[in-house]
């Protein structure tokens, strides 16, 4: 039995952004079909057909990239001194953030944690802390120096205190992808342990979300539309929150499709460009001069506001908007892979982030967020030059 559990399973191949799109959206549909919510509309044939088409195209693209070994990178040495400096810079930015806002979200529930953050400083703090948390994890795997693991743990604690659940998910997910990239094959026993821990993670994720939003069991089960099948199942209500988090984006997308005004829906090309493709930091600065207002999409309930990367594109431009969004995603991934191959000091970290970003598109459009753009398009180049300015030798190849 022990020999069977010690067998290794090759999972490294799945850390491919095109594959992760397929895994993420297939999983979201699978969860959706559990039927735990009575407020979810049925998935339409048109949406299923669209998703199936994108899944097929991305699967074959991922297969071709994997076959041509385009995801193999050099693993370069790094500057331990710079690692330390950047960690303390992250801590400093966090404290500047807190001093500027005048409160800590975990200590003051009377304020909206979503509004926490100093302009400019907060996106830099958030992106640096996420990016380097995963790099510290890579540094620990390479050097076995425990202080790098401590750095990542302390950053996770800071994100917890700021109620940044999405950042925590980003760090943990990206670290997991990086682990798969480094190890390629993992023991079957570890895989089984991870699967067994999924219910525990689901419970903690829902509990943390309920605590952050001050939601009681009654609100979760009644106001947020739990079905009778779920209520009678005996499953803890915290798991229902995780279910909502994973599946409600598809429900909101379907709600907009159900209330569509035609193939082009609202036909608002201007809003499509500024709220789907242009970085949101630029859009916010142009709203007043251009008299723009954010799209008010149809929602199944006011509490659930996300709708996959396609919801706003459908609301503004209908099916053509969704198709353009898909094409934009395709070339965005190719651009990131080009940057990763050219400036490869942070190749594994950036590829892990890219896979995480694509996975999280089942929730919202992260492609126009400043922190994501920094981590995928700017940081790999900037820190490549900083870490290799004195000449770093390649130590191995993956």
Higher pLDDT, 318 or 230: 318
- Give pLDDT tens digits for 346-398: 999 999 999 999 999 999 999 998 889 999 999 999 998 888 875 544 444 45
pLDDT on residue 328: 97
- pLDDT score at 345: 85
- Which pLDDT band holds residue 109 (cuts at 50, 70, 90)? low
- Predicted pLDDT of residue 150: 94
What is the per-residue pLDDT for 43? 95
Whether 344 has a pLDDT exceeding 70, the answer reads yes
Instruction: Determine the pLDDT at residue 396.
Output: 43
Confidence of residue 5 (pLDDT cuts 50, 70, 90): low
Whole-number pLDDT of residue 75: 60
C-alpha angle with apex 333: 13 to 19, nearest 5 degrees? 30
Average per-residue pLDDT for the chain: 85
- Least confident range from 112-126, 173-187, 255-269, 355-369: namely 112-126
What share of the chain in percent tops pLDDT 70?
89
- Mean of the pLDDT values across residues 84-95? 92
Q: Sort 14 into a burial class: Cβ within 10 Å, 0-12 / 13-18 / 19+.
A: middle
**Which of residues 90 and 203 earns the better pLDDT score?**
90
Domain count, the chain: 1
Q: Please answer whether residues 19 and 59 qualify as being in contact, where contact means their C-beta atoms are separated by less than 8 angstroms.
A: yes
Please give the pLDDT value at position 26.
96
Confidence of residue 136 (pLDDT cuts 50, 70, 90): very high
Alpha-carbon distance of 333 to 335, in angstroms, equals 5
DSSP string, 308-376: TTTHHHHHHHHHHHHHHHHHHHHHHHHHHHHHHHHS-TTHHHHHHHHHHHHHGGGTS--TT-HHHHIII
pLDDT bracket for residue 184 (50, 70, 90): confident
Give the span between the Cα atoms of 348 and 72, in whole angstroms.
Answer: 9
Is the pLDDT assigned to residue 125 strictly greater than 80? Answer: yes
Domain extent, residue 103, equals 2-397
The H or E element that residue 207 is part of is helix 188-213
For 206-221, the pLDDT digits (tens) are 776 667 666 777 777 7
Q: What pLDDT shows up at residue 392?
A: 47
Q: pLDDT band at 77, cuts 50/70/90? A: low
> What pLDDT is attached to residue 186?
78
Give whole-number Cα distances, 396 to 72, 181, 182, 392, 393, in Å.
11, 13, 11, 12, 9
Q: Bigger pLDDT: 379 or 195?
A: 379
Q: Average of pLDDT values for 298-303?
A: 88
pLDDT tens profile 226-270: 888 888 888 888 888 889 889 999 999 999 999 998 889 988 999
pLDDT at 151: 94
Give me the mean pLDDT over the 24-36 stretch: 93
pLDDT tens digits, one per residue of 326-339: 999 999 999 999 99
Whether pLDDT at 23 is above 70? yes
Q: What is the pLDDT of residue 395?
A: 45
Q: Quick one: pLDDT at residue 76?
A: 57
- Report the distance separating Cα 245 and Cα 247, nearest Å: 6
């Amino acid at each position: 039995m022990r020999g069977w559990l010690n067998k290794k399973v090759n999972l490294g191949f799945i850390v491919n952004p095109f594959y992760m799109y397929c895994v993420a959206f297939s999983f979201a549909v699978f969860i959706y079909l559990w039927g735990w919510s009575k407020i979810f509309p049925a998935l339409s044939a048109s949406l299923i057909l669209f998703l199936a088409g994108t899944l097929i195209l991305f699967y074959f693209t991922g297969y071709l990239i994997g076959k041509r070994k385009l995801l193999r990178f050099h693993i370069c040495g790094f500057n331990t001194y710079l690692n330390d400096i950047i960690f303390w810079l992250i801590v400093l930015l966090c404290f500047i953030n807190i001093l500027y806002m005048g409160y800590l979200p975990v200590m003051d529930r009377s304020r909206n944690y979503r509004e926490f953050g100093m302009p400019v400083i907060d996106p830099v703090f958030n992106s640096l802390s996420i990016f380097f948390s995963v790099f510290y994890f890579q540094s620990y795997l390479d050097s076995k120096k425990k202080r790098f693991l401590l750095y990542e743990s302390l950053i996770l604690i800071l994100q917890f205190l700021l109620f940044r659940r999405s950042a925590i998910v980003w760090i943990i997910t990206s670290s997991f992808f990086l682990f798969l990239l480094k190890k390629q094959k993992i023991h079957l026993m570890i895989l089984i342990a991870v699967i067994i821990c999924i219910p525990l993670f689901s419970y903690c994720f829902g509990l943390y979300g309920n605590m952050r939003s001050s939601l009681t069991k009654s609100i979760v089960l009644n106001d947020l539309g739990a079905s009778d099948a779920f209520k009678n199942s005996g499953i803890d209500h915290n798991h229902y929150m995780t279910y909502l988090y994973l599946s409600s984006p598809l429900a909101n997308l379907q709600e907009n499709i159900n209330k569509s005004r035609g193939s082009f829906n609202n036909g608002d090309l201007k809003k499509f460009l500024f709220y789907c493709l242009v970085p949101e930091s630029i859009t916010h600065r142009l709203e007043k001069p251009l008299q723009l207002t954010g799209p008010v999409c149809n929602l199944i309930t006011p509490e659930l506001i996300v709708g996959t990367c396609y919801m706003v594109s459908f609301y503004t431009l209908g099916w053509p908007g969704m198709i353009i969004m898909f094409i934009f995603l395709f070339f965005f991934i190719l651009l990131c892979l080009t940057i990763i191959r050219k400036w490869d000091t942070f190749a594994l970290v950036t590829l892990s982030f890219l896979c995480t970003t694509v996975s999280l598109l089942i929730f919202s459009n992260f492609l126009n967020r400043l922190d994501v753009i920094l981590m995928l398009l700017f940081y790999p180049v900037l820190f490549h030059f900083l870490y290799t300015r004195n000449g770093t030798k390649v130590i191995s190849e993956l």
